[in-house]
Amino acid sequence: MRGRGLRRASWAALAAVVAAALVHGSLPRPAPLTLSREAAQIAAGIKCPSCADVSVAQSDAPTAVAIRDYIRQALRRGQGRDQIDAYLASRYGTGILLNPPASGPGAAAYAVPAAAVLAAAAGLTLVFWRRRPSAEPALDPEGARMVEEALAARGEPP
């Protein structure tokens, strides 16, 4: 009986995931970004080199203004976000990027939390798997004899 309930719960979870994917897929896509909005988004992900923990978009420092101008010019030349980030990282170091790259040493910022969640899920699964009750508790010979005597006293066959 317990396996059937688990199976039903698995199917219900699968149906919920499929429904969520269908809803997400049917949502309208945002309009393409204008040059100024895209530049503002990129600038929000770049740390001001002369400020403490402030993005280029929030700072009025001369270097922040120069970086914002560079971002707008690079976008006009057809460069993408990755190219702009790579140039700024080569000039100022990877510490200028507020969002670390998803490759190289910066991948650890994404991989370590994901690995920790997977390890925790595996550990919980193992704990619950070991604590599950067995199908029937095994009786020692003395316990089996006592059950047979009790059934015989009630007049039921063993």
Alpha-carbon gap, residue 33 to 41, rounded angstroms: 10
Note the pLDDT tens digit of each residue in 9-32: 888 888 899 999 988 888 887 777
The percentage of the chain sitting over the pLDDT mark of 90, rounded to a whole number, equals: 20
Map out the domains of the chain as residue ranges.
35-101
Alpha-carbon gap, residue 98 to 151, rounded angstroms: 74
pLDDT average, residue stretch 118-138: 83
Phi, psi (deg, nearest 5) at residue 32: -60, 145
Contacts of 157 (CB under 8 A, 6+ apart): 151
pTM: 0.50
CB 46: neighbour CB atoms within 10 A?
Answer: 25
**Fold that domain 35-101 belongs to in CATH:** Helicase, Ruva Protein; domain 3 (1.10.8)
Confidence of residue 2 (pLDDT cuts 50, 70, 90): low
Q: How far is C-alpha 2 from the chain's CA centre?
A: 30
CB burial readout 80-107, b (16+ within 10 A) else e:
eeeebbeebbeebeeebbeeebeeeeee
Q: Is 39 exposed, middle or buried (0-12, 13-18, 19+ CB in 10 A)?
A: buried
Are the C-beta atoms of 45 and 55 separated by less than 8 Å? yes
Q: 106 vs 120, which has greater pLDDT?
A: 120
Amino acid at 68: R
pLDDT at 16: 92
